[in-house]
Amino acid sequence: MRILRFKHFARRFVGGRPARIIAIVVAAVLGGWLGLSVGATVQTSVGPADIAMSLDPAWRGETVLDVRPLGTLAFDSHRSPVRLNFSIEAVHPDVAEKMLEDREWSDRLPATIEKEITDGVRRLAIRGAIGAVAAGFLTGLLLFRRLSRAAWTSAGSLAMVAVLGVTSALTFNPRSIAEPRYTGLLTGVPSLIGSVETIMNRFSMYRDQLAKLVTNVSQLYEAGANLPIFDPDPDTIRVLHVSDLHINPLGWNVIKSLKDQFKVDFIIDTGDISDHGTKAENEYIKEIGRLGVPYVYVRGNHDSKTTQRAIEKQKNAIVLDGQAATVKGLRIYGVGDPRFTPDKSLQGVTDQALVDLGRRHALRLAPPAPPAPSPSPSASGSPSPAASASPSPAPPQESEEQGKITVDIVAVHDPTMGRAFSGRVPLVLSGHAHRRSTEVLDTGTRLMVQGSTGGAGLRGLEHEEPTPLTASVLYFSKATRRLVAWDDITVGGLGEHWIQCERHIEGQPDPRMLPESDKTPTPTGTNTAPPE
């Protein structure tokens, strides 16, 4: 009896009004998406270039600028399930030359480009709406074979387009233009896997290709600084943050290319430059002396004291282990990792012991005072002694708080130790995790964890996909000595030839430090941290 009632209810529902409404809504959505995909395309002239614009259904709302075959720029511009695509179809050299020669043209260019893009997007929206209505009507006619239902379907498609447009407008994020994601794929680079048989052969081939890849794409991104995005002024201090090289020679290619293309003032390495801390690995370290810029280093858990002493002998190297140094006007405090895990020593050092050690060092630091403008440069333009690169640590600046020192950056290897400096410094740099991340702690301190600039060494080949090589370029204001923006660079691992650069703008470039709620080291029984 219940089965008969259910069948009767099912027949009434399928043939009733609710089912018809659901069917019309589904048909309207399908027809609308089809209409947008096919009809929402226009081509317009923007300055000296012909730009093709289109709308595509997408799970993630974004705007993508395609510069084939060099790569793409993506912006998280809105939060509706539609993607706005721009692609450069052609560039007219005669028009570009006229713009360069005519000063009035150059002055009018920004307003002209804005007007032409606005007109193009308007025409794109109109064509998208017409295409959605037409596709919705045809879909309804094919499915229902009634003009009345086809009309309702086309109306539903128009309503869907209107909802997408309103949602995109309400969620539009103008800040996204300053934080692009750049992905470059050089399709002309030959395959690097082929028939090679050994890892060393792959390393040799890949290293040469990677040097060209990083240089070319970095030059393209550097040229992109002329776009309306964050453009560092000459007073900006540029710092390259690397970590966990693990004796991978490819890491030096990345470092050298980024150093040159982004014109960095110095480099901070947060440890694990070696893999087993042996003397044989010290040959790898000699690349530091050939970089030509200061190289600030803190010991990682794969670096032995032998490794640390070898780095100290290198030109440009500044090794920090419970010390502070002033480099290019930024004051940096560094602490080496107390563990040395390759020989399984000090395995009893728990996370809490790392926190306790970090807190003891943090108590040597005074919370940063509100940043004051730096002295004006001399007439000759030469940097002050404190801003000059020096291979030996400079005396840290003293604070009024009981003679404690004030620093701008703390460098450690393990982020667990880095958290202990919360509230004592605006920025903490670390590595160890082989995965990039960043967060702002409750006190206002930003903790940045770098991935592996060496692609985790040979361990990067153990997984199904090779570990990418990562590094970040940090931009500091010379006046306030605070982080204002950073670029996260990611290079494809062994056998892959792609690179991505994602820009971030610091939302609070002048963080106000709040006191940490608990500064008292927690007892850890017998698992105490070893002496510094």
The rounded distance, in Å, linking the Cα atoms of 368 and 126 is 54
Instruction: Report which residue type is found at 62.
Output: E
Residues 436 and 481 in one domain: yes
Q: How far does Cα 457 stand from its chain's mean position? A: 21
Q: What is the DSSP letter of 146?
A: -
Q: Partners of 311 in the beta sheet?
A: none
Q: What is the DSSP letter of 459?
A: G
Q: Are the CB atoms for 171 and 61 separated by under 8 Å?
A: yes
Residues 115 and 89 in one domain: yes
Residues 228 and 142 in one domain: no
The pLDDT assigned to 471 comes to: 94
Q: Partners of 90 in the beta sheet?
A: 50
Tokens representing 162 are 């209107």
Q: Partners of 324 in the beta sheet?
A: 333
Q: What pTM was computed for the model?
A: 0.63
Residues 202 and 189 in one domain: no
Residues 258 and 136 in one domain: no
Q: Are the CB atoms for 254 and 491 separated by under 8 Å?
A: yes
Burial class (CB in 10 A: 0-12, 13-18, 19+), 114: exposed
The rounded distance, in Å, linking the Cα atoms of 175 and 227 is 14
How far CA 210 is from CA of 83, 200, 251, 288, 426, in Å, comes to: 31, 15, 10, 19, 34
Residue finishing a domain among 142, 165, 193: 193
Burial class (CB in 10 A: 0-12, 13-18, 19+), 9: exposed
Residues 48 and 128 in one domain: yes
Question: Checking DSSP bridges between strand 446-449 and strand 427-430, what pairing results, if any?
Answer: parallel
Residues 171 and 223 in one domain: no
Q: Is residue 525 part of a domain?
A: no
Residue finishing a domain among 146, 165, 193: 193
Q: How far does Cα 458 stand from its chain's mean position? A: 24
The pLDDT assigned to 9 comes to: 45
Q: Partners of 267 in the beta sheet?
A: 240, 295
Tokens representing 506 are 């610091």
Q: Are the CB atoms for 310 and 337 separated by under 8 Å?
A: no
The pLDDT assigned to 101 comes to: 60
The pLDDT assigned to 517 comes to: 53
Q: Is residue 392 part of a domain?
A: no
Q: Is residue 319 part of a domain?
A: yes
The rounded distance, in Å, linking the Cα atoms of 408 and 324 is 10
Beta-strand (E) ranges in 202-306? 236-242, 266-269, 295-297
Averaged pLDDT, groups of 10, the chain, 532 residues long: 48 59 83 80 76 82 72 78 80 63 61 74 85 86 82 86 84 73 44 32 49 51 44 78 91 88 93 89 91 96 93 95 95 94 67 92 84 44 38 48 83 96 95 93 94 73 69 91 90 67 81 61 35 36
Q: Is residue 1 part of a domain?
A: no
Taking the CA atoms of residue 384, residue 388, residue 391 and residue 392 in that order, the dihedral angle to the nearest 10 degrees is: 30
Q: Is residue 2 part of a domain?
A: no
Residues 266 and 282 in one domain: yes
Contacts of 98 (CB under 8 A, 6+ apart): 105
The total of structural domains in the chain comes to 2
Q: Of 398, 438, 446, give the one whose Cα is nearest residue 422.
A: 446
Residues 166 and 50 in one domain: yes
CATH number at residue 248: 3.60.21.10
How far CA 14 is from CA of 8, 18, 148, 151, in Å, comes to: 10, 8, 19, 21
The pLDDT assigned to 257 comes to: 86
Residues 205 and 176 in one domain: no
Q: Is residue 82 part of a domain?
A: yes
The pLDDT assigned to 448 comes to: 97
Q: Is residue 518 part of a domain?
A: no
Parent domain of 63:
15-193
Q: How far does Cα 399 stand from its chain's mean position? A: 34
Burial class (CB in 10 A: 0-12, 13-18, 19+), 30: middle
Residues 208 and 177 in one domain: no
SS3 annotation, 405-450: ECCCEEECCCHHHHHHHCCCCCEEEECCCCCCEEEECCCCCEEEEC
φ, ψ dihedrals at 429, nearest 5°: -110, 140
Q: Is residue 111 part of a domain?
A: yes
The pLDDT assigned to 524 comes to: 33
Residues 126 and 208 in one domain: no
Helix runs in 293-371, H state only: 305-312, 351-362
